[in-house]
């Protein structure tokens, strides 16, 4: 069989039978309704989607930090205890007033 | 008074989504005709057309008005059809064993008396559809645009976003691929 000739005939058949261009009834209404629905829901949907996506990594990070803090308790010495230093600095003036009296 | 295309587009860009409807009405026949070249079932054709218009609405800001809106829309349509072909690569490896009687008759006639196998026969149209379905998405797109719609290489490059040399290379490969599919079809039938 002559494949090249068959190819030529097939392509000629495709050219001779172009597809129809009919449009389903009220197609344009459907498209505009879809666009309107998207516009109405989009801002909220974007936030919801973003927050849901962020929820899982946030929970994972919280769990990891919790586990790390639980299994590695740091022995705080008086010298490097930040909270104690902060408190001393903040209340220094009050302490001095107490001593003067 | 009927608004011009430019006025409608400007109104849509200002936020008046209702002005998009006349554009959909005006150009949907071309979108549907193009989609029907790549999808067989009407549900799929509907989906492609809908996708084209939703994308057109979203990307309307990128339409600069230098070329007609129809050209911009056709580029979007062809690219959406190509995406559809890539997402629905099915039945490409199946055999050609289930010919209908008219298809069998047409092929028999082509083998015995090629000049009597006319291109206008329904069977020929169905066979072409079967052959095109077995081509790769790239090959099908190139064959459709170049050989069936009779477009130039430059036009195809603009529609697809491929370079001119790339279109030529893909056209060469597509013709070879189609001959391979036709050879397989005849082998399945006669061996």
- Compute the nearest-CA separation of A91 from chain B (Å): 60
Answer yes or no: do B120 and A23 touch at CB < 8 A: no
CATH number at residue B120: 1.10.10.10
Digit-coded pLDDT (tens) for A60-100: 999 999 999 888 876 555 566 788 888 888 888 887 776 66
Same domain, B82 and B125: no
Which of B28, B61, B88 delimits the end of a domain?
Answer: B88
Three-state DSSP at A11 gives helix
Digit-coded pLDDT (tens) for B134-160: 999 999 999 999 999 999 999 999 999
Same domain, B120 and B83: no
- What is the count of structural domains for chain B? 2
Tokens of A41: 């829901």
CATH number at residue B81: 1.10.1740.10
Spell out the per-residue pLDDT of chain B, length 191, in tens.
577 888 999 998 888 888 999 999 999 999 999 999 999 899 999 999 999 999 999 999 888 888 899 999 999 999 999 999 999 886 565 556 677 888 888 888 887 777 777 776 778 888 888 899 999 999 999 999 999 999 999 999 999 999 999 999 999 999 999 999 988 888 877 65
Same domain, B156 and B177: yes
Same domain, B77 and B168: no
Same domain, B152 and B78: no
The residue range of the domain holding B69 is 1-88
Digit-coded pLDDT (tens) for A14-68: 888 888 999 999 999 999 999 888 776 666 777 887 898 899 999 999 999 999 9
Chain B positions touching A15 (Cβ under 8 A) are 119, 147-148, 150
Q: What is the predicted pLDDT for the residue at B1?
A: 57
Same domain, B27 and B113: no
Same domain, B41 and B102: no
ipTM over 0.85: no
Which of B72, B88, B104 delimits the end of a domain?
Answer: B88
In sequence order, the 6+-apart residues with CB closer than 8 A to the CB of A10 are B124, B127, B128, B131, B182
Same domain, B80 and B115: no
Same domain, B26 and B10: yes
Q: Would you tell me which residues 59-98 of chain B have a C-beta closer than 8 angstroms to some C-beta of chain A?
A: none
Q: What is the predicted pLDDT for the residue at B112?
A: 79
Q: Would you tell me which residues 38-97 of chain A have a C-beta closer than 8 angstroms to some C-beta of chain B?
A: 38-39
Same domain, B57 and B17: yes
Same domain, B151 and B116: yes
Tokens of B19: 């002005």
Same domain, B36 and B124: no
Tokens of B53: 């218009």
CB B133 within 8 A of CB B98: no
Side-chain-side CA neighbours of residue A101 (13 Å): 6
Q: Which of B85, B83, B75, B84 is nearest to B137 (CA)?
A: B85
């Amino acid at each position: 069989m002559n494949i090249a000739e068959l190819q030529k005939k097939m392509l000629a058949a495709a050219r001779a039978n172009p597809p129809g261009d009919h449009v389903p009834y009220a197609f344009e209404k459907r498209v505009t309704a879809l666009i309107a629905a998207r516009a109405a829901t989009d801002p909220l949907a974007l936030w919801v989607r973003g927050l849901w996506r962020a929820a899982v990594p946030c929970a994972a990070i919280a769990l990891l930090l919790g586990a790390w803090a639980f299994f590695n308790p740091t022995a705080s010495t008086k010298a490097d205890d930040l909270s104690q230093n902060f408190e001393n600095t903040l209340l220094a003036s009050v302490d001095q007033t107490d001593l003067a009296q | 008074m009927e608004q011009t295309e430019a006025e409608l587009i400007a109104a849509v860009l200002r936020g008046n989504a209702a002005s998009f409807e006349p554009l959909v009405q005006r150009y949907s026949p071309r979108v549907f005709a193009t989609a029907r070249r790549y999808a067989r079932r009407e549900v799929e054709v509907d989906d492609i057309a809908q996708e084209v218009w939703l994308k057109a609405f979203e990307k309307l800001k990128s339409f600069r008005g230098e070329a007609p809106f129809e050209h911009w829309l056709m580029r979007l349509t062809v690219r959406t059809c190509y995406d559809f072909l890539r997402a629905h690569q099915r039945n490409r490896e199946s055999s050609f064993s289930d010919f209908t009687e008219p298809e069998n008759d047409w092929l028999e006639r082509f083998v015995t008396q090629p000049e009597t196998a006319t291109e206008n026969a329904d069977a020929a149209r169905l066979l072409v559809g079967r052959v095109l379905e077995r081509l790769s998405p790239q090959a099908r797109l190139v064959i459709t645009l170049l050989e069936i719609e009779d477009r130039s290489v430059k036009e195809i490059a603009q529609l697809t976003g491929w370079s001119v040399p790339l279109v030529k290379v893909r056209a060469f490969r597509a013709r070879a691929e189609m001959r391979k599919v036709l050879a397989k079809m005849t082998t399945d039938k006669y061996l």
